[in-house]
Amino acid sequence: MARLSSERLKALDTAHHLHPFTDYKALGEEGSRIITEADGIYIQDAEGNRMLDAMAGLWCVNLGYGRQELVDAATAQLQQLPYYNNFFKTTHPPAVELAETLCRLAPKHMNRVFFTGSGSEANDTVVRMVRHYWALKGKPEKQWIIARENAYHGSTLAGMSLGGMAAMHGQGGPAVPAITHVRQPYWFTEGRDMSPDAFGQACADAIEERILELGEDKVAAFIAEPVQGAGGAIIPPQSYWPAVKKMLAKYDILLVADEVICGFGRLGEWFGSEHYGLEPDLMPVAKGLSSGYLPIGGVLVGDRVAQTLIEDGGEFFHGFTYSGHPTCAAVALKNLQLMEAEGVVEHVRDEVGPYLAQRWKELEQHPLVGEARSLGLIGALEIVADKAAGKRFDKTLGVGNLCRDICFDTGLVMRSVGDTMVISPPLVITKAQIDELVGLATAALDETA
C-alpha cells in the first residue's frame, strides 16, 4: 500500500522525478501511473486497477512477481553479508556460486563471467574487453565494432554508441569512436520486396561489405541480439544467422550475442544463441538473470577470450563497486535454481511458446494487423493502415501509442515501438493467461481501429 494518496504521489513525481526515456513536459501535463503492487503476471496501480503485465516489467520479471523464495534469499543475504566487493583477491559465496551456475547453464565453451550491475555496464565491459583482447593478441588496430541500426544495447556512453538508435545518438554525444552500424534484419519494414531468406542473406552481406570497407584487419567484433528486442521484437529470417556466423569466422571477428533480453529462457532455450546455434565469444546478460528483483548483469566470456585475458592480460583495470553484489547475486542464484527446479525453460519451449505462436498468429485476421510474429515468449504485432499493401499509418497519428494507452486503460501492458506492438510476458504465464492476453489485445485493437 502507498503511504501517500495517488494524487499526492503524482504531484510529487512531476515536481521532482526525472524519469528515464520520458518527455518531461508531456509527463507534467499527463502525470504518471503509480504502480504499487504486483503478483504473478499482474501489476496494480494506486487506484486499484489491475493489469496483465505482458512486458514482464521491462522484459525482465521472468519468474513473475511475488516470489517469496527470492525475497527470502535477499533477506538472508542482507542479514549475513549485505555488501562486499570482488576486487583484487576477495570474493564471497553468492558471487562464486552464481558464477559456477551461470557457466554450467551457458554454452559449453563459456566458463568465465565478469559481473556488472546492469546490461549497459555489461556492454561497456564488452567494448573494453574485445579491444583489450585484440591488443593482447598483438593486433591493436582491430578496434572497430560493427553493430546494427535500431539496436538497443544500453544507455551508458558505450551502450548508447553500440545501439543504433538515431534519437539517442542525437543527444549527449559524441559517441564512442570506432563503432559503426549496418542494416537490421527487419523483413517486415525493410525487406518485403524480396523473400525473407534473400533479405536475411542481404543483411549478412551488408556486414561483409562493411568489414571490407573498414579493412578486415581493423574489425574487432560484431554485436547483436539473437532476436532484437527493444527495436520491435525483430525475429531475423532463417538465413541470417548461419550466414553471419560463417562470415565472422572467415574474417576472424568476435561475435558478441547480447542476451540481456533473449537470455534465461525467453526464446525457449537458456540462451537465445542456442536457438540459432551461435557460438558467441561474449554474452552480455542482465534482466532475467535475477528476474529483475535486484539489479545485476554480467558478461559471459568464451574460453578463447578468457584464456588470453588470463594468460597474457596482467591486471584488467575494470570493475564496478557492485560487480557481483552479494545480495543481488544471492537472488540471481535462487532465481536460476527455481528456473531449473520448475522447468521454466522447458515450459516456454514445449508448452506456452508454441501455444502463444498459435494464438498470436490468429491476430493476423484483425484488419489492423499486417504481421503477428513470435518466438518463445517474445512477440510483435505490426499495425498497418492497409493490410494488402502493408502500408503504415501516418507517423504523426501515433497509432501505436494510442493502442498502448488503450491497453493500459483496459488492463494490459503492451509496449509500442512506433506502430509495432510488442510483448514479452513473464515466462511462468499459463495457457489460460495467454488466452486472456490475446483477448485483451484483440479488444484494444478493435478500439484502436
> C-alpha grid cell for residue 206?
551488408
CB atoms closer than 10 angstroms to residue 427: 27
From residue 398, alpha-carbon distances to 152, 300, 383, 403 in Å are 21, 39, 11, 9
Give the chain's end-to-end CA distance (angstroms, integer): 37
Contact stretch for ligand PLP (CB under 6 A) within 150-158, 378-386, 411-419, 432-440:
150-158
Cis? peptide before 94, omega within 30° of 0: no
Contact stretch for ligand PLP (CB under 6 A) within 114-122, 313-321, 417-425, 431-439:
114-122
With contact defined as beta carbons under 8 Å apart, do 356 and 379 qualify?
A: yes
What are the two backbone dihedrals, phi and then psi, of residue 144, each rounded to the nearest 5 degrees? -70, 140
Sorted by sequence, the CB contacts under 8 Å of residue 15 that are 6+ apart come out as none
214 vs 79: CA distance, rounded Å: 53
Query: Which residue from 79, 7, 40, 43 is spatially nearest to 408, judged by alpha carbons?
Result: 43
Q: Report if residue 379 touches ligand PLP, rule: CB under 6 A.
A: no
CB of 407 to ligand PLP, least distance (A): 20
Contact stretch for ligand PLP (CB under 6 A) within 215-223, 232-240, 256-264, 410-418:
256-264
In the shown chain, the binding pattern of residues 272 to 291 toward ligand PLP, with x for contact by CB under 6 A and - for none, equals: --------------x-----
Residue (146 or 368) nearer to ligand PLP, CB: 146
With contact defined as beta carbons under 8 Å apart, do 425 and 61 qualify?
A: no
One of 118, 161, 323, 374 touching ligand PLP (CB under 6 A): 118
What are the two backbone dihedrals, phi and then psi, of residue 89, each rounded to the nearest 5 degrees? -115, 30
**Residue 163 identity:** G
In the shown chain, the binding pattern of residues 37 to 66 toward ligand PLP, with x for contact by CB under 6 A and - for none, equals: ------------------------------
Q: Report if residue 271 touches ligand PLP, rule: CB under 6 A.
A: no
Q: Report if residue 230 touches ligand PLP, rule: CB under 6 A.
A: yes
One of 229, 237, 288, 353 touching ligand PLP (CB under 6 A): 229
CB of 55 to ligand PLP, least distance (A): 11
Q: Report if residue 225 touches ligand PLP, rule: CB under 6 A.
A: yes
Q: Which residue is nearest to ligand PLP (CB)?
A: 119
Query: Contact positions toward ligand PLP, by CB under 6 A?
Result: 118-120, 123, 152-154, 159, 225, 229-230, 258, 260-261, 286, 297
